[in-house]
Amino acid sequence: MTRGAVASGRPAALVRVERHRALVRTPAGLRLHSLPTPTPGPGELLLAPEVVGVCGTDLQILRGLRADPAEVLGHEGVARVVAVGPAVAGPAPRVGERVLVDPTHPRDDTFLLGHNVAGLWAERVVVPATAVRDGLVVRAPGPGPATPAGPDHDAAVVAALAEPLSSVLEGYRVATDVAAGAPSTLVVWGGGVVGRLAVRWWRHRRPDLRVLHVHRPGEPPLLPEPGTLALAADDQDLPAVLVGLTGPVTAVVATPRTASLQAVAALVGLCRAALTIDLHAGLPAGPVRWNGVEDVVDLAALRARNRAGRPVVPVARTVGRRGAAPVTFVGHRGVAPATLQRAAHVVSGDPTAWADLVTHHVTLDDAVRAIRAMVDGDRHVDGRPVLKLAMRISR
């Protein structure tokens, strides 16, 4: 590379790649394109993603349900630093190190990885200086105990699950911080990866919890979680089950954006026990009113106030309900870098506890076909139900 070594004495680059491949959003849909490889500017890092995940928000963007402008998506994954721009110093990772990127900046709205800046679905990506300077690029853990599936599979599990698990860890933190007491019942509303991770993490931390897992309407749950009561959102028995829950109850709402208000309305209207609702899901803007609730609440604004691990004491809102115990709303957008790193260590420490959630592994060449099927609503790829797809970009 033409830049030579930076002032800190660390190597500036590995072998220069003039062009690289990326999955690019085009008017005709997702395409695999060859792009010129950028040179990192002052304060920037150039990464080579190794394994990345496909998130539900990625699918929403590709379906046109979100207005995020990034042409290259992807905010989950593990990458290797291949070049360092001038003026990168201090604790930033060095060339050759494996890293994760925290996708949400706590203050700078111009950085949201894979949403308004280029994401990880590419053989090369530049991380802007604002993210590098503020510590959003963190070192990935080394290999954990080997599993029978082998190191490639284990790396894919860490890459695909570290970011969604970090959201679950942050949700656990904010929900337990604001709840009036330790819950006796957990409701997880959402049958995707975040919902599955939430069930496993909460039960890991609180083994005595009774767990109700509400999944997608009209379908059996994929990979049912042992020891939980699983019901579809349209199951005729669900209302009676919600009415009969004994408290305190904590509910984790991890649905697609289009189903989040319906889930909250069912919980608020039917669960009469003391209730804390942790909002993982995206929400429409503006105040919401429910029958029997004494005040309106802007759930989207409330969720946005807890951003990237700040403030340390989470912002929550408790409102009264006629004929029922109060309900406390809390949520978050993004996590602190240390939480992302912790989640990666949790997964790498015992990949077998999480590996079944990564149902599909594809190459970059095969990814377009698989992702198109998921965008079209097909819950099966290559004849098997898909829960989490990991994409190997490079080694």
Question: Which of 131-135, 144-148, 277-281 bottoms out in mean pLDDT, i.e. has the lowest?
Answer: 144-148
Sketch out the chain's domains with CATH numbers.
19-140+359-392 (3.90.180.10), 166-331 (3.40.50)
Tell me which long-range contacts 313-316 makes (C-beta under 8 A, separation of at least 24): 313/177, 314/173, 314/174, 314/177, 314/178, 316/174, 316/178
Query: What's the whole-number mean pLDDT along residues 212-236?
Result: 87
pLDDT band at 152 (very low <50, low <70, confident <90, very high): low
Say what percent of the chain tops pLDDT 70.
Answer: 93
Q: Is the pLDDT of residue 394 over 90?
A: no
Question: Which of 21-35, 130-144, 225-239 bottoms out in mean pLDDT, i.e. has the lowest?
Answer: 130-144
Query: What's the whole-number mean pLDDT along residues 219-225?
Result: 74
Tens of pLDDT, residues 31-73: 999 999 999 999 999 999 999 999 999 999 999 989 999 999 9
Average pLDDT over the chain reads 91
Q: Is the pLDDT of residue 148 over 80?
A: no
Residue 78, C-beta contacts closer than 8 angstroms, at least 6 positions apart: 49, 50, 51, 52, 98, 99, 100, 140, 155, 158, 159, 162, 344
d(Cα 180, Cα 328) in Å, to the nearest integer?
A: 9
d(Cα 257, Cα 249) in Å, to the nearest integer?
A: 22
How far is the first Cα of the chain from the last one, in angstroms, to the nearest whole number?
A: 20
- Name the DSSP class of 222: S
Q: Is the pLDDT of residue 4 over 80?
A: no
Q: Is the pLDDT of residue 98 over 90?
A: yes
Tens of pLDDT, residues 288-299: 999 889 899 999
H or E element in which residue 230 lies:
strand 229-232
User: What is residue 364's predicted lDDT score, i.e. its pLDDT?
Assistant: 94
Q: Is the pLDDT of residue 130 over 80?
A: yes
